[in-house]
Protein backbone atom coordinates (compact mmCIF):
# COMPACT_ATOMS: atom_id res chain seq x y z
CA UNK A 1 0.00 0.00 0.00
CA UNK A 2 1.31 3.43 -0.95
CA UNK A 3 1.08 6.47 1.36
CA UNK A 4 0.85 9.97 -0.19
CA UNK A 5 0.44 13.42 1.34
CA UNK A 6 -2.73 15.18 0.22
CA UNK A 7 -0.80 18.29 -0.82
CA UNK A 8 1.55 16.18 -2.99
CA UNK A 9 -1.38 14.56 -4.77
CA UNK A 10 -2.98 17.98 -5.30
CA UNK A 11 0.26 19.31 -6.82
CA UNK A 12 0.25 16.38 -9.24
CA UNK A 13 -3.46 16.07 -10.11
CA UNK A 14 -5.12 19.34 -9.05
CA UNK A 15 -7.79 20.03 -6.44
CA UNK A 16 -10.84 19.08 -8.53
CA UNK A 17 -9.50 15.68 -9.56
CA UNK A 18 -8.42 14.81 -6.00
CA UNK A 19 -11.79 15.93 -4.62
CA UNK A 20 -13.54 13.66 -7.14
CA UNK A 21 -11.31 10.72 -6.15
CA UNK A 22 -12.04 11.27 -2.44
CA UNK A 23 -15.71 12.09 -2.90
CA UNK A 24 -15.70 15.55 -1.34
CA UNK A 25 -15.97 19.15 -2.51
CA UNK A 26 -13.03 21.03 -3.99
CA UNK A 27 -13.50 23.66 -1.26
CA UNK A 28 -12.70 21.04 1.42
CA UNK A 29 -9.43 20.23 -0.35
CA UNK A 30 -8.62 23.94 -0.70
CA UNK A 31 -9.29 24.53 2.99
CA UNK A 32 -7.10 21.60 4.08
CA UNK A 33 -4.22 22.81 1.90
CA UNK A 34 -4.60 26.43 3.05
CA UNK A 35 -4.55 25.34 6.72
CA UNK A 36 -1.46 23.15 6.05
CA UNK A 37 -3.14 20.05 7.45
CA UNK A 38 -0.96 16.94 7.33
CA UNK A 39 -3.37 14.52 5.66
CA UNK A 40 -2.13 11.21 4.27
CA UNK A 41 -3.99 9.14 1.69
CA UNK A 42 -3.40 5.42 1.36
CA UNK A 43 -3.55 4.07 -2.18
CA UNK A 44 -3.96 0.52 -3.40
CA UNK A 45 -3.59 -0.05 -7.15
CA UNK A 46 -3.85 3.72 -7.68
CA UNK A 47 -7.20 4.01 -5.85
CA UNK A 48 -7.65 5.86 -2.55
CA UNK A 49 -8.69 3.33 0.09
CA UNK A 50 -8.26 5.37 3.28
CA UNK A 51 -6.88 8.55 4.75
CA UNK A 52 -5.78 9.94 8.07
CA UNK A 53 -4.46 13.14 9.61
CA UNK A 54 -1.43 13.57 11.86
CA UNK A 55 -1.62 16.39 14.35
CA UNK A 56 -0.41 17.20 17.87
CA UNK A 57 -2.52 16.11 20.82
CA UNK A 58 -3.22 17.63 24.23
CA UNK A 59 -1.23 20.76 23.47
CA UNK A 60 2.03 18.80 23.37
CA UNK A 61 4.80 19.79 20.97
CA UNK A 62 4.79 17.79 17.75
CA UNK A 63 8.06 16.37 16.47
CA UNK A 64 7.72 14.78 13.06
CA UNK A 65 10.03 11.79 12.66
CA UNK A 66 8.60 10.06 9.58
CA UNK A 67 8.20 11.38 6.05
CA UNK A 68 5.96 9.80 3.40
Question: Residue 12 above 70 pLDDT?
Answer: yes
Mean pLDDT in the chain? Answer: 90
Threshold 0.85, pTM exceeds = no
Give the pLDDT confidence of 32-52 residue by residue, as tens digits.
Answer: 999 999 999 999 998 999 999
13-44 burial code (b ≥16 CB/10 A, e <16)? eebeebbeebeeeeeebeebbeeeeebbbebe
Structural domains in the chain, CATH included, are 2-54 (3.30.240.10)
Q: What is the pLDDT of residue 59?
A: 77
Q: What is the pLDDT of residue 67?
A: 57
Q: What is the pLDDT of residue 11?
A: 97
Amino acid sequence: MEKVLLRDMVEQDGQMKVADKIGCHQTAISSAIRKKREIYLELKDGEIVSGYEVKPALGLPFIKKEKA
